[in-house]
Amino acid sequence: MKDKQIVVVLDFGGQYKDLIARRVRELGVYSIILSGDTTTDEILSYNPIGIITTGGPKSVYKPNSPLCEKELLESGIPVLGICYGMQMMAYILGGKVSSASVSEYGQTKAKVIHESKLFANTDSELKVLMSHTDRIITLPEGFVATVKTENCPIAAMENNDKRLYGVQFHPEVTHTIKGKKIIRNFLYNICNAKGDYNMKNYIETAVEEIRKQVGNEQVLLGLSGGVDSAVCAALISKAIPNQLVCIFVDHGFMRMNEAEEVKQAFADKSLKLIAVDASERFLKKLEGVTDPEKKRKIIGAEFVEVFNDEALKLGRIKFLAQGTIYPDVIESGNGKAATIKSHHNVGGLPEKMGFSGLVEPLRGLFKDEVRKVGRELGLPTAITERQPFPGPGLAIRIIGEITKEKLDMLREADYIYREEIGKMKKKPSQYFAVLTNTKTVGVMGDERTYGYVLALRAVVTGDFMTADYAHIPQSILAKISKRITNEVHGITRIVYDITGKPPATIEWE
């Protein structure tokens, strides 16, 4: 983000690095995530107004534990160390860190014991999320303890003169009640942030960059119907009207009415939309396939084939657009960052297609920011608020072999379920139906039936890394069950999944 203030989040293996960066952005400051072993010179090249060091699974006093360079802590730029990041700060600057006699996990009561800019306008008694087995025993020279808990005398520390601050707890999570206020204090009271980051400005910058990159050339985009590709299409079409060609491949595994919603959403946009109904082609490829990983691979490969077939009909197009977003980049390894999992849309241009340029206007955004951009661009809520949906779609929400009959059955049942849950004032984070490969006996109108078991899944989560099952009122579940068994032929029994993540994943396959 050109000409915008930046906060660097240095990652030392903490599970909440994305959440920290998102919190900073929510508070109006642009953030980027860099690997913890990034050199001080490289970090300073971004001209950051502040640095946040994350938690991590290691002990700072053990060999080969990741550490930032001491020069970074002596650069004069404000640093906030979180959990491991705080222990690392203390260790590097001469303090002592050792294993705690009593570990702390979960929400814990804490007390502010020293006046601090970091805790301005919070409460003297705090509820914070602790997750540590090590603790600081001796403070570095010039530091004071600012917060304590029953089992941790140094739950926060600071050297205000050197603008170095540390918290043993996690202010980025909702379980720390005043956590967002603490981060705000760091940004505005300590880093002197201006709050110059918002989605309207992001759109203006992205439009300018797209125009500069593309000029008068055409751009090709594979439109999946998901939030990322849809917002990508809307943004590019705003920047370069009538120069974007979108290929929408309908593999036949989308939810009820979604294919039509995609077509309608872009009917009035300045782009060319090519819609391909390839449902029969995909079904034929999946005949007899039951393994979910094989399903994924077959669908992915076939999607590329259909896209390529259509693209070749268009002749030479110079630029390929992708809806790559920031978490894709982070997980696939960015610079020195470790690769968590690879993404198909990260890593450059497909060799066989002959493209010479890649347009990725969402590459720096998190999912919630992508939704905001979509709303700013006037996309309908059916697109911008679309629930997470796997690329293979309903194909991996049908356990076992996929048939047209099963797809129609699941599509209708899932629609009823989502329709009823949609009426709730407080909705779960994600909810969907799964057609199992189990059949059970039933009775309807004195007749014996033998139909499928349908599983309902609904979860509540803040970041989709962990999730609890949603406590949907029994009256609503009863209504959903009655509607589905009455209205959808072939489903005899309804069950509700009450498993959290972990131990389960959100999806069944």
Known active-site residue 132:
no
Residues in the chain: 509
For 354, the enclosing helix (H) or strand (E) is none
Both tokens of 143, joined, read 């530091």
Q: Which residues pair with 432 in a beta bridge?
A: 457
Rounded to whole angstroms, how far apart are CA atoms 290 and 288? Answer: 6
Rounded to whole angstroms, how far apart are CA atoms 280 and 372? Answer: 35
DSSP secondary structure letters along 382-410: HHHTPPP--TTGGGGSB-S---HHHHHHH
DSSP 464: S
DSSP 254: P
Q: Which residue among the candidates 68, 83, 191, 232 is catalytic per the annotation?
A: 83
Q: Which residue among the candidates 104, 158, 170, 369 is catalytic per the annotation?
A: 170
Pairing of strands 468-469, 79-82: unpaired
Known active-site residue 258:
no
Neighbours of 195 (CB within 10 A): 12
Known active-site residue 175:
no
Q: Which residue among the candidates 68, 104, 152, 172 is catalytic per the annotation?
A: 172
Pairing of strands 244-250, 219-223: parallel
DSSP secondary structure letters along 304-341: HHHHHHHHHHT----EEE----HHHHHHT--TTSPPSS
10 — phi, psi (to 5°)? -95, 120
Rounded to whole angstroms, how far apart are CA atoms 106 and 103? Answer: 10
* Catalytic sites, residue numbers: 83, 170, 172
